[in-house]
């Protein structure tokens, strides 16, 4: 169960920001003794790979905070975030950490399953984010873009760290994010309704 939560947390984090969970995994595998990345994912801890991922993260963080540019960026990320989610889930579910004691047994039969699960999880989060951002920008006059992006980045970092260090907390994060999205959507629709009523 812990392996599933670790992989899920990393995949969901990738849906918010493709590069944060990959960097967290790479740094953990490189510098933390209690995190042992599977052999197929050792490339994540390579210095050059981490440098490239960090450069891509900087571009992503800036682009995602600029209205209109964030929508274009979300279109580009439709392929990147699910791919990162698949890699992150597959790596996280097979990583040997202090809290994941028997990682290989969970997905020993079919190696493609964790990647497929990660792709789907990241795609759902990415799709929700991409659908909500344009209305938020429209209602807020563009002010909502940097606020929402900062919240998403913080959520991605928290999910990635919880996934590796305390997978059980991933469940709490999922519930919290779900409630936040639902409340945000309700507030957005009520504002739109009020505007339409005021116009008529």
Q: What is the pLDDT of residues 33-67, one digit of tens each?
A: 877 788 777 888 999 999 999 999 999 999 999 98
Q: φ, ψ for residue 36 (rounded to 5)? A: -120, 105
Q: Which of 74, 98, 85, 66 is nearest to 7 (CA)?
A: 85
Calculate what percentage of the chain has a pLDDT beyond 90.
30
- pLDDT tens digits for range 114-173: 778 888 999 998 998 888 888 888 878 878 888 889 988 998 999 899 888 887 788 887
Q: What is the pLDDT, as a whole number, of residue 50?
A: 95
Number of domains in the chain: 1
| Residue 28 neighbours by CB under 8 Å, 6+ apart | 35, 37, 164
Write down the pTM of the prediction: 0.78
Using alpha carbons, list the distances in angstroms from residue 6 to 23, 134, 166, 179. 15, 31, 8, 21
Q: Which domain holds residue 136?
A: 2-199
């Amino acid at each position: 169960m812990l392996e599933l939560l670790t992989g899920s947390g990393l995949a969901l984090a990738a849906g918010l920001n493709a590069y944060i969970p990959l960097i967290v995994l790479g740094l953990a595998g490189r510098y933390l003794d209690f995190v042992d990345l599977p052999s197929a994912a050792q490339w994540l801890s390579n210095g050059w790979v981490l440098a490239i991922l960090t450069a891509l993260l900087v571009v992503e963080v800036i682009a995602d905070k600029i209205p209109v540019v964030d929508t274009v960026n979300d279109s580009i990320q439709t392929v990147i975030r699910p791919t990162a989610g698949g890699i992150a889930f597959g790596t996280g579910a097979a990583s040997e950490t202090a809290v994941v004691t028997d990682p290989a047994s969970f997905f020993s039969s079919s190696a493609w399953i964790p990647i497929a699960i990660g792709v789907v999880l990241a795609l759902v989060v990415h799709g929700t984010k991409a659908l909500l951002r344009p209305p938020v920008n429209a209602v807020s006059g563009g002010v909502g873009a940097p606020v929402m992006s900062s919240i998403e980045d913080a959520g991605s970092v928290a999910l990635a760290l919880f996934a590796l260090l305390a997978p059980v907390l991933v469940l709490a994060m999922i519930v919290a994010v779900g409630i936040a999205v639902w409340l945000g959507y309700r507030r957005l629709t009520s504002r739109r309704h009020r505007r339409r009523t005021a116009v008529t």
